[in-house]
Every structure is written in structure tokens, then in C-alpha cells.
Structure 1
Amino acid sequence: MIALVPRPTRLESRSGVFEVTGDTRIAADGELRGPAAFLRSVLTTSTGLALDAATDDEAPTIRFAVDPSLAEEGYRLEVEPTGVVISAAGDRGGYWGAQSFLQLLPDAVYRAATVSGVAWTAPAVLVEDAPAFGWRGAMLDVARHFVPTREVLRFIDLLAMHRLNTLHLHLTDDQGWRIEIRRYPLLTEVGGWRPESQVGAGPTATMDGRPHGGFYTQDDIREIVAYATARGVTVVPEIELPGHAQAAIAAYPELGVTTERLQPWTEWGINTNVFNVEESTIEFFRNVFDEVVELFPSPFIHVGGDECPKDQWRADPRTQELMRERGLADEHALQSWFIGRIDEHLTSRGRRLFGWDEILEGGLAPGATVLSWRGRAGAVAAARAGHDVIMCPEDTVYLDYRQADGPDEPIPVATVTTVADVYAFDPIPAELTAEQAAHVLGGQGNLWSEHADSPRTLDYLAFPRLCALAEALWTGGERDFEEFEPRLTAHLGRLNARGVEYRRADGPRPWQRRPGIPGRPADREETAAHVASLTADIA
């Protein structure tokens, strides 16, 4: 069995094998030198072979060839006993062809040091492949629990290994501000640290009494972006507004509605503290985003927009006065005004705003894109209104949700979401016409970190569910989980070689459990009712 994950569009087995040896060379057309350099770096690390650039036509060669007839991220992989050709229209297709070739080799190719005694053979095949969706990603929440740069780079490698092309970094929230903004240093000096953290969920959750913090310098961000680009992955930043604001208000109290002196929040959940709607606050965020767009070449910039309680705005005389001056009917319109002002600025900088589906409430600027998390209602409403959509419904692709109903599941949160559930994900809501469905750019899984305080826990939550998500977004259409399972089982050997501490099918290992820490489990009926109540305004 040839166990490629995600499954390619076409796979044809041929006779023989190709062996990577000391005589093997790597060559590339100019546009594909990046993918060739990537493949060489992986192969030389594990095989210990030089794999120099080709100078001899007689040498067995892995060749990267430009083929403009192929789709933007498509590739053709031809493995023969005499050589390998990876064809692509551009570098992204070249990266994906390289990833598929690596999966044909022994699992040890993923080791971070030279492995001896291995025959580095790949079966002869023809693979012709292209993704079903252009946006295939994962959101990593580094605000609740900071993830060091080295672990972000590792996560990028794992995304690229599965031909996922987008890393959405959730950089700011009530509990922490994780990106250096040089004009406003207190955002990280004050907003980057909290005195303790909640442990567990629900009314019996406790506090750990341990300070937590960290942030990425602008040099760290440049490293992350460059590393991702060299693997075909786009990094998309998220700066939360107008809610999820407490860490920023702690740093700069003039941004808040409240006069109370705050610190970054130590609890989880929805916080009532929001940004005020003064012109000075809009100017503050213009300055923040000016630094953000210089760091991230992504065409999309995420502005949050979710879970913004309106209580402070309703109770604040100054906010009500500003609403009357601006002719805004209610607080939903006020949030829309706030988002619209930021959208104007990002558009002026050549970027596209996107946000969680709450940005639909009160109206939405024409070019904005919606990240639909509360079921599918937001996606349907947005696509029907002509907005592009990225799907990430919480009942299907929230990767922090519990993976089984058993008592050993660590800090069990919300709905049981199995590998099979994620594999069944279809980003296209059935209610959409073909014209409306064209607005669905793809989808992503969301990995929130309230209950993930270490990289080991992130591994447990993400894998192997992220493998299933990758196939749902790459392969699309009709899929058979029974056909996927044996390929996934074989693929776990690659994850083992990469050192990924994934969740085993028979449950968590003893060190992956969190005995005595309460969770917040829910069944699917509860979740469906909750989502319906949240989306009543936009359905």
C-alpha cells in the first residue's frame, strides 16, 4: 500500500523503485529552486548524503521542472528507477510535490539526524494532484498560552507535511498580547504577562498561581514568516478588536471604556471589557496595523470581531453620545462602524480584512471575508451577500474539543470530535447555490490553547485529527473513512519519526491525562442549540 496523506487526485503504481544514493543529484528550474532547496535540506539531514546540484546528465537526478499547464498548487510526481521529476507551475506546487515524494521514502527520512542502515527507496509511481480548496489551514492560539518560536516553526513543518498552506496566528486576547509593536512597547511589557492562569473549566476550576507570558519580537515574526514561506505556508496574523481587549487595555488604559485599572486577564471565557470607540483608539490601531502589515506579507489580516459584549457601550454615556453623533442605531451598528474603519485602513495598505462571523452583525464592508465558526449560518449569510468565506465550524473542526467521552480524556471540553468527524468535514454548506459556493475559499481547524499549556498538549489535540482535516480540504468531494484509516495508520510512523505525541486510537497515554482537572463537556444537541442561539441575528 502506498499511503499518501492527503490522498492525491491520481496515483498510478509502476514497476521498480528509485533509490537515493551518494550518486543522486537534485536539479531545478529557476522558479522551483526553493522547493529543491527544501527537499535537499530534508534528505541530507536524514540520509547524510550530499545530493549536490546536477552536473552530469548520467547521474540519477531528482529534477524540479516548471510546467505552466498545471494548476496553481498542482504538481505531477514521476518516480522511475532512473530518476524523479517533480513538475509544477510555481513554487507551492513544487513544495507539495516534494512533500509527496518524502512520503514515498522510509519513515526515517523525517528524523532530525543521519540514520544509517536504511535503503532510501521510493516506489515507482505517477502522481497527478491538485487541491480542492485554496485555503487549507490551522489556527494556533498563542495568546492564551504562549508558544515559543521554535515550536511554531515545528508546527509549520507539520502543516507543510500535510500540504496545509495557511497558519492563522491568534496573537492577541484578554490574556496576553504576543507581538512586539515598537510604537507601543507596553503592549508586550505589560500586556504580555499575567500573574496566574485558570486551570480547567467550569465553576470548580482553580488558579495555578504561576506567572505566564512571552511574546514574539519583530525579528521572531520575520523568522516565522520566512520559515513558513520556504515551505509553501502563508502566516496570517490576528489582532483582536473590539472585544478580547483586556491585555491591551492593561497596557494602555486610555483604550478602554472602564476607568478601572486592569491587568491581563487570568481566566477563560468571554470578558466584558472592550475597547472604546474614540477616534484616538482608531488611530492607535491604524498605527498597530501599519507595523503588522510590514511584518506579514499575507494578503489577509484578521481583526477578530467575535464575542464582543456590548454591556459597557450601552452603559457608557460617552459611547452613547458618539453613537448619536455618528447616526448609529445600536451597538451592533457601532461594532460594524469600528470594523469598517479598520477595513478602510487595511484596504488602503493593499490588504483584505477578515474576521469571525460576528462581523456580519450590523453590516459588513464589501471586500471583507468571513471566518465562519458558529456552525454554518454565518457562511451561508456571507456567501449569499457576496462575501468570501473560510469555514471552521466549531462542532466539526475545533481541535481543542474532547476526542472521546471517556473519563481519561484530559480537561474534556465541549463536543466529542473524533478523527472520523473531522474527516467528514465539507466546507461547502449544502444550502448554497454553485455561484454562492464559489465564495467558499476553503477551511481550517482551530486550536485554542486555554487548556493546552505545553507543546506536548498541542500535539495531542492536533494529531491525528489535523491529518484528517488536511485530506478533507485537499481531496474534497466523496471520501471513505474506511479507505483513509489504513493510510492514516501507516502515516503515524511518519509522525513517530517527527516526534509528534499524537493521541492514540485507544486513548490517552498516562502522561497525557489530567486527572482531577474539571472540564466543560457538552453533547451535540447542546452545541447545536447553543450555535442556533448565537447565530439567530445573522441567519
Structure 2
Amino acid sequence: MKRIRTYLAIISLIAMPLLTLAQAGSQIVPAVVPLPVTITPSTDFFFIIPTTRIVATDHSLNKIAELLNGYVMACGGKPLSKVAAAPTSNFISLAIDSAGIPDKEGYLLQIDNRSIRCVGHDASGVLYGLQTLRQLWSAGAHKLKVPGYTIADHPRFDYRGMALDVSRHMFPVSFIKKYLDVLALYKFNTFHWHLTDDQGWRIEIKKYPQLQSVAAWRNETLIGHKKELPHHFDGKRYGGYYTQQQIKEVVQYAADRQITVIPEIEMPGHASAALAAYPSLGCTGGPYKTATFWGVFDDVYCAGSDSTFLFLQQVLDEVMELFPSKYIHLGGDECPKTRWKVCAKCQQRKKMLNLPDEHALQSYFIQRMEQYVNSKGRHIIGWDEILEGGLAPNATVMSWRGEEGGKAAIAQKHRVIMTPETNCYFDYYQSLYSQEPLAAGGFTPLQKVYGYEPLAGSTDSATTTYLAGVEGQAWSEYYTSEAQAMYMIFPRALALAELAWTPADQRNYGDFLGRLRRQTSLLLTEKLAYDPYFDDITYTAASQSGALQINLHSSLPGSEIRYTTDNTTPTWQSALYTSPIEIKNTCTVKAVLFNKQQQPTGRLFQQSFRIHKAVGASVILQNKPIDRFNPGNTTLVNGLFGSNRYNDDQWLGFSGNDLQAVIDLGRIQRVERLALGVLNYHWQRMWAPVTLLLLASTDGEHYTELYRQDSFPVNGINKLEVKVKPVQAQYIKVIGTNKGVIPAGEYGAGGNALLLIDEIVVE
């Protein structure tokens, strides 16, 4: 293997210039995702033809050789024969050399006109080399053409995960296998399988048959978004579960593709389905039912009853028999303490253990279950809520509510997987176009996923030591079909794959998009119903006194944007966008992207702008808005209204705090009309203000009340268009009294109400 080591030495000297050329737009770097660490091109080509032989002397690579044959045949090639010794030419060799390829999961792929050699540190490395090979070849008549390259590659992170929630919507084994195939193609090594939740229990547990007959089924399913009231349901019984034989089949299928399957069995919250089957496990004794809509529910496993722990231990016994993974995910998130606070058994447990509060009781619950899992030679993973009340001694933390949980866990020397919802949740909208299918909320475009850098700026050496990797989340509340699931997950998962694999200083979004566009035929071969609209037109708006500057953008090279401001649909003859559009009057901007062939591509862009006296004015806020929504003061006076998806950065949000905004118009002016919108979605914890006051002043000290409203009946956006008695004013004050704590009986009871407001129009 001296030849391999020589190649590594040469590659290390020339790789960076090659990557620089690629990022500048050169075609030297092929359309491979994730981008390999080093790439050396040649002028050679190799042709995989029916007489090509596969050489794999290591028996551990037999399955990978079979996979290679499958990949060849999927592209129209003929099956290749496997031989024990390499001929002089026309062969593909597979080998393991842990000394020559020092990095775990690393590989060296050498392609010339005589052969293809794929050498891995381990079996995973060999497979990943072949996944790169698949992305290099192009199909012809009974042959595959492969350009010459030498590629030395290894992953950035040990943990590269994608999840799938099958509790809300269940997917057949055939889909799970297809999903695993695509994860393997893009070098993910972990499949996090979310198997239990309030809406359904999806794994067969032989000791508890009612988990199959009761917990696996719900009476009906919510139609539309949970924020919409009244809730509507389809009236159809829904459910199912994976048999233990099917679980074994999936685990083996994943293992053949070097993917570890980590099961998630939720506890102590998200337990409605299990409680429906075994009501004695809850604090009240029921009756309970499997949830038919989405959310967080007060009924959880009773922390004061030993029978709860016995049940979960016996469940995990069967789970651990099915899943050989080192880690078992126990959930631990979103567990309300409402029932525990009034449960005699839970309070007795808390008193007996001298625990200060119910958060500590949750910590006890997780630690007790962790001890059991550890006794079986395994370790647990939990969502970052398991930090509350004290972290279990050996737990890995999956940080989803931002990065703070991950930072806190690292400070305690715990292994961390970063999966912040702002960047890694693929149930969020990926564009703001109205044609997007119904999604959970939030806005996570492709660029936001790709641009995420875990714990950016950290100089603590512990970060490197304890940051295991990243994971993308695929929650299925609104994944109502296999096609929609794929549309929502891909290509965002490809951006995460590159984040997880490629060194940070070699990643470049423009270069990634170029390679992604050239992945189209491969994605079609894999029959992925992925989102193709990542090059669609987007915009930014800069406000100035009484006007807006609108910037239109597209990432499609060589394209042109044609636009109108008269509400007509643009054509090739419409105005060509070359510089920011100045908007001085209320209008709708429409734009269409045209490709190099002067053909329209993508979707019609349209955005309305309302110009009024306060556009671009100075705004002073008494309380700081929360970062979850756009925290900028100018949001209130930028000529843009928020949508009912509340994910477009046009809403200003306050958690538990009042809104008090003062707008300075710059000079005394006549004011006779005010307008604004407030959100009222109790099922999203969004409450309209108890009282809304609009006031005016000439000096900023003495205010006159112009309007007051105490009732907001609309579920959704309450739009106020208020005509007031004309008044001279320079300052407009808006006061919204927050609901404060969400009352008992309402969704999210006991938490802070959110008050959301959008554009304040002054005319």
C-alpha cells in the first residue's frame, strides 16, 4: 500500500488550488455532494462494461460488492462478475487498508483508463468511495463512462444523521428503505427513527399487545394546520406499526449501507398513545386516547409510580434486542409538569427524594432510565430538555432549541449533536411562495441550512472534543404523502450532508448549487420528488423616508429577471432588472426569471408594498422583541405586511411582555388613518393584546388617545384599518397589553403568551 500513501502525500500539496478553482466556477471539481476533501483530475476515462470485473478479496466487502452491482444495473448496466484476483485491466477493486487510509470512514478513489480502485479505512470508507463513484459516472448503452480522478476523502463529523418521524404519519418499509438508500448516497451514517409519540406507537412490543391494538391507532386525523380553528378532522381511523420482523429487516438493510439506526422511544412526555393502551401508567388513570391532532399534551407518564419504570424497562428490553445501536434515544422533550404538580404519587416521590421542583423530578426520571440502559451496555440520547433539573451522567444531548443546550452540555463534558430548529428542521417552509405545501411553520431555506456552522466562533477545545455532529429533523405532521416527505426533506438534506462531511473552509454555497444542479439526473434516477425551486427569485427591501428600495435576487447563473409594478404578469418584453427598484407608491411588484434560452423558469414572484407616512421612520421600543421573529425595529415601518404563516420576518414578537412602540414621523403632519395587524393563534401560543391603544403627540411627551380596541375575534390576522378624527402629530405611540401567562385550559397553559404585530401604517 505504499502507492496509496504516496498519493495522499501528493494530493495534500495540490488539493487546495484545485478547490479554489472549483469555487471560482471551474468545472474541474465534479458534481459530487458532499464535496470531497481533495480531488485530483486527469484526462483519463474508464468505461464500466459487461466484461468489467469486481475484485474484493476481503469477505467483509461482499455485500458492498453486491450493492455496486445494483447501482450499475440501476443505471442500465449489466451485472458484473466478481473475481478473487485483479486482472491486468478493466476491473474495479475494493479493499480495506486502515493504515494507508488513516481517517475513520475515509477512502481513496483512483480512476484511470485501466481500472477503478477504491480503498477504505473500513467498510464504511469503501462504500462512501462507491457513492462518490456513482455521482461521477454517466450512463450510455450498456456502459458507464467515468472520468479520471484521484479523490482522497474523509468526514468532518463522526455523527451525520437524518431523522424521520413515523408517529404522526407512518411510512411503509419500502419507503424507509428508499430513504436509507438516499442517505447512504450522501454519506449519512445515522438514521434516527422516531417510533413513538402522542399520535401513534409504531413498534411491536410483544409483552404489551395493546400497544399494537390500541396505541398504534387513532380515531381520525387533523385536516389543515393546527392553528386553524375550529379544528377539522377526516373521520378516518389511522395507524399501524412495524412488526419486529420488519424492524430487523430495516436495521439489516441500513447496516448493509453502513447506517446505524437509532430508535426513539419517547418519555416521559409525548405519551398519549401509550397511556390510551395502558391508562394506569398516567397520573390520573385516564381514560386517555391516542391524539388526533398535533401539539404538546399534559398527560404524561407518572413519575411517582414504579410500574411506569417497569413498563418502560420491559419495552426497552425488546427495543434493545432489535436495535444493536450503541445509543437509544429516550426523547425527554416537551414534558408538561401539570399532572405531576397535583399527582399524589409524583409529589410523594419528589418529597422522598428531596427534589426542589418538577424539573428535578424529570431529571430523576431520565437518570433512572439511563441507569437501566447503561446496565445493558448502551447509552442514551435525549433532547436538550434533559438538561433541566440536572443532566443524566452519560447522556448525549441533542440540542434543538437553538445552541444553548449544546453549549451547556459541552460545558459539562457531554457529547452533543447539534440540530437547532432554525437550521435543521425540514418540516419548516423552504420558501415564502404561496404555492408551498402546508408546513409546520418557520422558514428554513436551502441557503440557511448550508450556511449553518455548529457553535461558530467557539475557541474552546471542548467544542471539538464533545461536538459529535449534526442531524436533520423530518417531523411528519404535515408529511401527508411519501412525495411530500421527499419534497420537504430534499435537497435540504444534501446541504446538511455537505455541512456534516466537508471541512468548513472548503464549503461554498455557490459552488454547492452548481454541483446540486448537476445532480438532477441522479435525483431523478432515485425517484426523488425533491424541491427544484431553490433558484427562485427572492428579495430584500431597504426603507427610507417615504420610499423603498427593492432588490431582487436569483442564484441561477446567466438568468435574467423581468418585472412589472402595474400588477401585470411579466414577459420577456417587460423591464429588465438591473438595479434596485425604487417604490414611492403602493403597488405590487411581480417578477419572472428567464434562463439563457429566454424561457421563463421557476415560479412567479409577487410582493405587495404599501407606502405611507411612517415608512422608514425611527421607531423606539420599550421592550426587546424575541429573536424567534424579526427583532428589528424597522419591521414595523417597512411597507410590508406579515402573512398568516408568520415566518416571513414581518412580525415583531413579544413573549410575556407588552408592546410599546413610538414612531417618530420626523415632523408634524396630518394623520387621519392608522392600520396594523395582530396575530391571534391560540394553538400557536399567539394571543392578541388584551388592550390595544393608538395615541398621537406633537412633542413626544403629551399624548392623545386616538383609538382603543379590547376584542380581537378573528382566529388569525386581525387587520385594523382605523379612520380617526384628523390630528396633527409627529409621534405615534402603539401600546399592546400582553395576555401574559396563558390561562389554564388553553394550549400551552402556564407559559408566556406571544404578542405579534406587523406593519404600523400611518396615513
TM-score, normalised by the number of residues in structure 2: 0.66
The change in CA–CA distance for 1:47 and 1:293 in structure 2 (over 3 A counts) is same
How far has the Cα of 1:429 moved from its partner? 4.3
1:408-487 equivalences under 5 Å are 408-431=435-458, 433-478=460-505, 479-487=507-515
How far has the Cα of 1:432 moved from its partner? 5.5
Instruction: Say whether residues 1:104 and 2:129 are aligned partners.
Output: no
SS of residue matched to 2:109: strand
Of the three residues 301, 306, 313, the one matched with 1:279 is 306
Of the three residues 69, 74, 87, the one matched with 1:40 is 69
Amino acid across the alignment from 1:426: E
1:131-280 equivalences under 5 Å are 131-201=155-225, 202-204=227-229, 205-277=231-303, 278-280=305-307
Q: Aligned equivalents of 1:305 and 1:475: distance in 2?
A: 31
- 2:585 maps to what in 1? none
- 1:499 maps to what in 2? 527
Instruction: Say whether residues 1:5 and 2:33 are aligned partners.
Output: yes
- 1:513 maps to what in 2? none
Give the greater-gyration-radius structure (CA).
2
Amino acid across the alignment from 2:110: E
Q: Are the aligned partners of 1:142 and 1:178 in contact in 2 as well (CA < 8 Å)? A: yes
Which has the larger share of helix?
A: 1
Q: Are the aligned partners of 2:200 and 2:216 in contact in 1 as well (CA < 8 Å)? A: yes
The change in CA–CA distance for 1:315 and 1:146 in structure 2 (over 3 A counts) is same
Instruction: Say whether residues 1:21 and 2:45 are aligned partners.
Output: no
SS of residue matched to 2:473: strand
Q: Aligned equivalents of 2:252 and 2:296: distance in 1?
A: 34
Q: Aligned equivalents of 1:237 and 1:486: distance in 2?
A: 35
Amino acid across the alignment from 1:64: L
Q: Aligned equivalents of 1:524 and 1:291: distance in 2?
A: 46
- 1:121 maps to what in 2? 145
Q: Are the aligned partners of 2:410 and 2:462 in contact in 1 as well (CA < 8 Å)? A: no
How far has the Cα of 1:123 moved from its partner? 0.2
Q: Are the aligned partners of 1:391 and 1:444 in contact in 2 as well (CA < 8 Å)? A: yes
Instruction: Say whether residues 1:303 and 2:330 are aligned partners.
Output: yes
Q: Aligned equivalents of 2:215 and 2:238: distance in 1?
A: 11
Q: Aligned equivalents of 2:248 and 2:504: distance in 1?
A: 37
Q: Are the aligned partners of 1:426 and 1:476 in contact in 2 as well (CA < 8 Å)? A: no
Q: Are the aligned partners of 1:412 and 1:520 in contact in 2 as well (CA < 8 Å)? A: no
Q: Aligned equivalents of 1:248 and 1:101: distance in 2?
A: 46
Q: Aligned equivalents of 1:445 and 1:152: distance in 2?
A: 16
TM-score, normalised by the number of residues in structure 1: 0.92
Instruction: Say whether residues 1:60 and 2:90 are aligned partners.
Output: yes
How far has the Cα of 1:21 moved from its partner? 0.8
Deviations 1:204-238 (A, max 9, x none): 34212222111100000000000001011110000
How far has the Cα of 1:35 moved from its partner? 2.1
Q: Aligned equivalents of 2:344 and 2:650: distance in 1?
A: 40
Instruction: Say whether residues 1:90 and 2:119 are aligned partners.
Output: no
How far has the Cα of 1:317 moved from its partner? 2.2
Deviations 1:98-128 (A, max 9, x none): 101111112x5xxxxxxx7354110010000
Unpaired segments ≥5 residues, structure 1: 109-115, 511-517
How far has the Cα of 1:520 moved from its partner? 4.6
Q: Aligned equivalents of 2:165 and 2:228: distance in 1?
A: 23
How far has the Cα of 1:294 moved from its partner? 0.8
How far has the Cα of 1:430 moved from its partner? 3.0
Q: Which moved more, 1:467-476 or 1:257-266?
A: 257-266
Unpaired segments ≥5 residues, structure 2: 1-26, 537-600, 604-642, 656-684, 686-747, 752-763
Amino acid across the alignment from 2:50: G
How far has the Cα of 1:27 moved from its partner? 1.0
Q: Aligned equivalents of 1:248 and 1:276: distance in 2?
A: 12
- 1:111 maps to what in 2? none
Instruction: Say whether residues 1:407 and 2:434 are aligned partners.
Output: yes
The change in CA–CA distance for 1:3 and 1:375 in structure 2 (over 3 A counts) is same
Amino acid across the alignment from 1:273: D
1:299-448 equivalences under 5 Å are 299-431=326-458, 433-448=460-475
The change in CA–CA distance for 1:428 and 1:295 in structure 2 (over 3 A counts) is same
Percent identity for Structure 1 against Structure 2: 39
Q: Aligned equivalents of 2:412 and 2:57: distance in 1?
A: 43
Q: Are the aligned partners of 1:461 and 1:502 in contact in 2 as well (CA < 8 Å)? A: yes
Instruction: Say whether residues 1:490 and 2:518 are aligned partners.
Output: yes
- 2:700 maps to what in 1? none
Q: Aligned equivalents of 2:321 and 2:511: distance in 1?
A: 45
SS of residue matched to 1:250: helix
How far has the Cα of 1:521 moved from its partner? 3.6
SS of residue matched to 1:284: helix
Aligned length: 520
How far has the Cα of 1:34 moved from its partner? 3.0
| Structure with bigger RCO (C-alpha 8 Å, 6+ apart) | 1
The change in CA–CA distance for 1:5 and 1:171 in structure 2 (over 3 A counts) is same
Which has the larger share of strand?
A: 2
Amino acid across the alignment from 2:31: A
How far has the Cα of 1:398 moved from its partner? 0.3
Q: Aligned equivalents of 1:448 and 1:158: distance in 2?
A: 18
Q: Aligned equivalents of 2:171 and 2:384: distance in 1?
A: 26
Q: Aligned equivalents of 1:345 and 1:315: distance in 2?
A: 27
Q: Aligned equivalents of 2:279 and 2:602: distance in 1?
A: 45
How far has the Cα of 1:328 moved from its partner? 1.5
How far has the Cα of 1:473 moved from its partner? 0.6
The change in CA–CA distance for 1:519 and 1:444 in structure 2 (over 3 A counts) is farther
How far has the Cα of 1:415 moved from its partner? 2.1
How far has the Cα of 1:497 moved from its partner? 1.4
SS of residue matched to 1:370: strand
The change in CA–CA distance for 1:519 and 1:371 in structure 2 (over 3 A counts) is farther
